[in-house]
Amino acid sequence: MLDDAGNNLAKIYELSAFDKMPEARGYRGPPEYPYELKRQGIEGVAVLEFIVDDKGDVRDVNVVSSTHREFESPAVQAVQKWKFSPGRKGGKAVNTHMMIPVAFTLSDLAY
């Protein structure tokens, strides 16, 4: 299976199969809070699933659910920029399926 950029994602592992789990690497920039929701004091979350490839890059980000549609695009755009140390299975870097909530809070953007 190839992703949109032509990368081979034929083998994708679930988190339970690893010797070492993927870990965030460097700064994970927060999503941009949608202006109108922020102005109205609305908080929420977007749950995303994606692949961390064997190089630690994020691929194939999809929205699983969200409390408000307006949170979806900023959450996807932020996560696409994140970098990870890839998961390892048998000592080898492998593609990993991940799912995370990206929270939008007015006190502090959490993810």
The CA distance from 94 to 51, in Å, is 10
Q: Does domain 12-104 have CATH number 3.90.950.10?
A: no
* pTM reported for the whole predicted model: 0.79
The CA distance from 101 to 21, in Å, is 17
- Residue with structure tokens 């749950």? 47
Per-residue pLDDT tens listing for the chain (111 residues): 444 455 555 576 666 667 888 888 887 888 999 999 999 999 999 999 999 999 999 999 999 999 999 999 999 999 999 999 998 988 899 998 899 999 999 985 444
Please report, for the chain, the start and end positions of each structural domain, with discontinuous segments joined by +. Answer: 12-104
